[in-house]
Amino acid sequence: MKPKLQLITMLSYNEGSVNTFISPSKNVIISVSDDKSITIFSDFDYKILQKIENAHDGIIFDISLKDENNFATCSGDRAIKTWTKSGNNKYICNKLIDDAHDDDIHKIEYLKDNTIISGSKDTTIKIFNLINNNYACSLILNNSVRVYSLIYIEEKNILMSAGTQCTIFWNLSNVLNPFITLIRAFCHGKNAFQILDKERVVIGGREQIQIISTIEKKIIKEIDTEFLVWTICVIKNKNLFICGGVSPHFEIYNSETYENLGIFKNCHSGNLRGNYLLKNGKIISGSEDKKTKIWEIFFE
């Protein structure tokens, strides 16, 4: 049986590329864009619930969900903002970390204990903790090369940082000497570094996907692709992952056998920036064509 994608709807909410998504509850989706906006919309009727224009002074690169009522964003304006749901169910800016880095902030992880981990073009990773109701930087990791993406493994307190030249493992329990190892795994997009399961992550780069063992801390599989990979969506209950990037197409792979199960042509009219699995099982994708599309995946 081969997977199939069926387009459910196409939305036009943005004036810039649609970068990435979160889904704080089953029927709510939040997206961020190059046009500096945050859009909160319904996955029931796809109507806008809230539009935050000029949420940052620059491109919003990433968004990270802490819980149903709180998320954080990072931007080319070098700032990090946290947002919380107010009494009228509208999100408002709660905290601002101004000049958090010296260059674009590509990726953030907003943890349940209010810790924020950020990775930047300035080649550093920073850990921010909430102290006396304000955020303060408690640790700076020198990544040596620009950071495009991060994965935090909570049960081990291990951080993985990825960029175009390498992937690094860090032990956040050992602040005096956190570096563990460096491997030659390459990431070209903030959404192209995802957890497959407790023992594996998948990373997308230049015409190649690599599977990394988080136990052995090494590459265990390399797969050639048709394009530069910017985004990967993992569908754990179907043993699939979907890749997109510098192409209007999707590629779908079996996450156990690594078999290419098909290429879906012209899913957008521009390069893919982000794709994401919603809580209701649908797939959402954003592109440089300024469109947001929602898909149903099935087998036939």
pLDDT means per 10 residues, the chain with 300 residues, are 91 94 92 97 94 97 96 98 94 97 98 97 97 95 94 96 96 95 96 97 95 98 95 95 96 96 94 93 95 92
* Fold of the CATH domain 3-299: Methylamine Dehydrogenase; Chain H (2.130.10)
102's tokens: 């010296």
pLDDT tens track for 60-79 = 999 999 999 999 999 999 99
95's tokens: 């905290």
> Could you tell me whether strands 218-224 and 208-213 are parallel, antiparallel, or unpaired per DSSP bridges?
antiparallel
DSSP annotation of 191 reads: B
Cα separation, 46 vs 67, whole angstroms: 21
CA distances 67 to 2, 71, 82, 111, 183, Å, are: 35, 7, 12, 9, 32
209's tokens: 């996907």
The model carries a pTM of: 0.95
Domain boundaries, the chain: 3-299
273 — phi, psi (to 5°)?
A: -100, -40
Nearest to 245 by CA among 220, 267, 277: 267
| Sole residue written with tokens 């947002």 | 83
Question: Sheet containing 105-110: which strands, arranged edge to edge?
Answer: 105-110, 116-120, 124-131, 134-142
> Could you tell me whether strands 149-153 and 134-142 are parallel, antiparallel, or unpaired per DSSP bridges?
unpaired
Report the run of H or E that residue 193 belongs to, with start and end.
strand 193-195
User: Is 136 in contact with 155 (CB distance < 8 Å)?
Assistant: no
Nearest to 235 by CA among 291, 275, 185, 189: 275
Q: What is the pLDDT of residue 1?
A: 75
Nearest to 219 by CA among 200, 242, 193: 200
Q: What is the pLDDT of residue 114?
A: 96
Cα separation, 15 vs 288, whole angstroms: 10
- 148 Ramachandran zone, left/alpha/beta (phi>0; psi -120 to 50): alpha
